[in-house]
A and B are shown apart, each in its own frame.
Chain A
Amino acid sequence: MLNINKHSSNDTKIQIETKDLSLYYGQDKVIKNISFNIYERMVTALIGPSGCGKSSYLRCLNRMNDFIQEARTEGEITINGSNIYDKATDVIELRRKIGMVFQKPNPFPMSIYENVAYAPRLFGVKDREKLDEIVKSSLEGAALWDEVYGKLKTPGTGLSGGQQQRLCIARAIATEPDILLMDEPTSALDPLSTLRIEELIRELKKKFTVVIVTHNMQQAARISDYTAFFLLGDLVEYNVTNKMFTSPDDRRTEDYITGRFG
C-alpha cells in the first residue's frame, strides 16, 4: 500500500494537496482517485509511460484541462488553502500564481521583451521602468539575460531552441508565481540545451515549487527531490527520489525504472 504521509514529517511545507482526484475525458477515466502532497520549493518529477496520466495531472494543476470540452474532474486539489476546483476559484488569478512551460518551446511571435512583459502587462503593470525591471530579473532568473540583453527588441522566435525554452521559462516566472509546471520541457531539445535547462531547474527551486513531467528517468533522478510514478491513471508510488531509484517499494516501479517496460 502506498503511504502518502510518509514524508510529511520533515519541516517542508505542503504546496499542493491532491485529494482523491479523478479526471475523465468523456467516458475514459484517465486519472483514478489519486492523493498525494507536493512540497514547497522542491522539484517533484512525474514519471511513467506515455498515456499514464502524468501530463493530464499537470494540466489539472492550472486548470488547463478546462479547454478540453469533454474533460471533467472529481476530488480536490488544494493550493494555498483553497480548492482550485471550487466554483469561486478565479482561474485567471490561479494561472498567475502558477507558471507553465510546454513541451515544445512556444514563444509568441513578438520581441523577447514583449514575450516576457506580456503577462505583467495583462495584470496591470504599465510603468516602463517597472516593466524593464521585471523583464531583466525574469530573464536573469531564466539564465538568459547574458545572451539576449543586447537584442531585447528582436523576435523571440529568432532564438535557438534551448534559448526559446528559457525565454518561455522567463515568461512564466515574470508574474512571480509560486509554482512552475513543466511538461517535458527538454523533450524537443538537444543534449547540451537539456543540460542547461536542468541546471536552471536546480536554481529555480530556490524560489519556486517545480513540478516537472519527464519521460526521461535519468533526468528525474538528476534533478528531482520527489518522484511520482504514474501507471494507467494510477499513482503507483510517490517517494523521495533517492529512495525511489534505489529501492522502490512497488514491483511495478522497479520494473519501469529498470527498463522492463515503458
Chain B
Amino acid sequence: MNRTNWRKLKDKYMYLILVGTALSILSILTGIICFVLYSGWSALSWDFIFEPPRDNMTSGGIWSPLVGTFQLIVVSIIAVIPVGVLTGLYFSEYAGKGLFPKILRLAVRSLSGVPSVVFGLFGLSLFVIFLGFGSCLFSAGLTLACLTLPLVVTASEQAFRAVPKDYRDASYALGATKLQTLVKVVFPSAASTIITGIILSIGRVAGETAPIIFTGAAFYTSKTGGLFNEVMALPYHIYILATAGTNIEQTRPIQYGAVAVLLALVLGISSVGVWMRVRMKRR
C-alpha cells in the first residue's frame, strides 16, 4: 500500500475511534442518569416526598432530609453571595497591581482545589469547635459557603468585567461617583451572569456530602430544627441508608428513590444555570 493511502486509512480509523469513544461515553453517562431515574421511579410518590423517614428509616419518605438540604442551600447561599460577589467586584473594579490582589487571587484559586473533606475538617475545627457553634445547620452551611466561594467569585468577576467600559464612562461623565456608577450601572447589567453563577453553586451545594458529615449532618432527627440544630441532608441520608441503615437490602427502593430525587434536584438546578450561561454566551 502506498503511503498516502495508508495515511488516509489511518485518518479513517481515527475518525471511527473518536466517534466510537464519543458515543460510548455519551451512552454511559446518559445510561447512568436514566438508570437512576428509572430505578427510583417506582419508589416515587407524593407521600415519599412529603413524609419523614419512619421505623428506623426502613419506611416513610425523605421529607426531612429534603428540607434539610434546602436549609443548607439557603444558609450557604446567603453567606456566600455578599462575600463572593464583593470579591468579584474587588477583582474587577478595585484590584490594582499590588501584592494583595495577587495573594488574594492565589488564595481563591487554591480554595477552588481544596478537597471537600478538608473543608469538612476546617468547618469542624473553626465553626464547630473554635467558634463553638457545635455540629449544626449553621456550621455546615458556612462550611459549604466556603466551598462554593471560588465559584461565585469567578462568576461575579467575569460578570463585572463583561460590563462595557462605555457604560461606566457615560455614568462618570454625568458626574456620578464610583459607588453610584457601580450600584446603578455596573450591578444591574452584571446581575444575570452573577445569578447564573449562584444557581450553579446551589447545584454544587445540594450534592455535597463530605463537608457536612462532621459539621452538621444528622444521622436521624425526628423534626426539622433551627439554625443551631443538626439537620438531615439528602446526600448524607443516602450514604447512611446505603451503608449503615437497618435492613440495607430491604430498603433499596427507598435508596433508589432518594438517589433519583437528589439527581433530579441537582441536575435540574444545574441545567438551569448551564442553560442561562449558554444563552448569554450566544448573545
Q: Residues of A at under 8 Å CB distance from B?
A: 90, 92-93, 122-124
B282 at the interface (CB under 8 A from A): no
**Complex contacts, B223 vs chain A, CB 8 Å:** none
- Closest CB-CB distance, A172 to chain B, in whole Å? 19
**Complex contacts, B3 vs chain A, CB 8 Å:** 123-124
The chain B residue sitting closest to A122, CB to CB, is: B7
Interface string of B84-122 (1 = CB under 8 A from A): 000000000000000000000000000000000000000
Main secondary structure of the interface of B (DSSP, over half): helix
CA distance A122 to B8 in the complex (A): 12
Tally chain B residues at the interface, Cβ within 8 Å. Answer: 4
Q: 6 tightest A-B contacts by CB?
A: A124-B3, A92-B4, A93-B4, A90-B4, A123-B3, A92-B7
CA distance A124 to B3 in the complex (A): 7
**Complex contacts, A122 vs chain B, CB 8 Å:** 7
- If A92-B8, A93-B4 are given as contacts, then 7 extra A-B residue pairs at C-beta distance below 8 Å, sorted by A number, are A90-B4, A92-B4, A92-B7, A122-B7, A123-B3, A123-B4, A124-B3
CA distance A93 to B8 in the complex (A): 11
Q: List 9 A-B contacts (CB under 8 A).
A: A90-B4, A92-B4, A92-B7, A92-B8, A93-B4, A122-B7, A123-B3, A123-B4, A124-B3
The chain B residue sitting closest to A123, CB to CB, is: B3
Q: Residues of B at under 8 Å CB distance from A?
A: 3-4, 7-8
- Closest CB-CB distance, B42 to chain A, in whole Å? 46
CA distance A90 to B7 in the complex (A): 12
The chain B residue sitting closest to A90, CB to CB, is: B4
- Closest CB-CB distance, A118 to chain B, in whole Å? 14
Interface centre among B3, B4, B7, B8 (most CB of A within 10 A): B4
CA distance A192 to B232 in the complex (A): 74
CA distance A92 to B3 in the complex (A): 11
- Closest CB-CB distance, B28 to chain A, in whole Å? 30
The chain A residue sitting closest to B2, CB to CB, is: A124
CA distance A180 to B3 in the complex (A): 24
The chain A residue sitting closest to B3, CB to CB, is: A124
**Complex contacts, A123 vs chain B, CB 8 Å:** 3-4
The chain A residue sitting closest to B6, CB to CB, is: A124
- Closest CB-CB distance, B1 to chain A, in whole Å? 12
**Complex contacts, A93 vs chain B, CB 8 Å:** 4
**Complex contacts, A92 vs chain B, CB 8 Å:** 4, 7-8
CA distance A124 to B6 in the complex (A): 11
**Complex contacts, B7 vs chain A, CB 8 Å:** 92, 122
The chain A residue sitting closest to B11, CB to CB, is: A92
- Closest CB-CB distance, A200 to chain B, in whole Å? 30
- Closest CB-CB distance, B206 to chain A, in whole Å? 41
CA distance A101 to B263 in the complex (A): 53
- Closest CB-CB distance, B236 to chain A, in whole Å? 48
**Complex contacts, A124 vs chain B, CB 8 Å:** 3
CA distance A64 to B217 in the complex (A): 61
**Complex contacts, B4 vs chain A, CB 8 Å:** 90, 92-93, 123
- Closest CB-CB distance, A96 to chain B, in whole Å? 9
CA distance A90 to B4 in the complex (A): 9
- Closest CB-CB distance, A232 to chain B, in whole Å? 32
- Closest CB-CB distance, B176 to chain A, in whole Å? 41
CA distance A90 to B8 in the complex (A): 10
- Closest CB-CB distance, B67 to chain A, in whole Å? 52
- Closest CB-CB distance, A256 to chain B, in whole Å? 38
- Closest CB-CB distance, B25 to chain A, in whole Å? 25
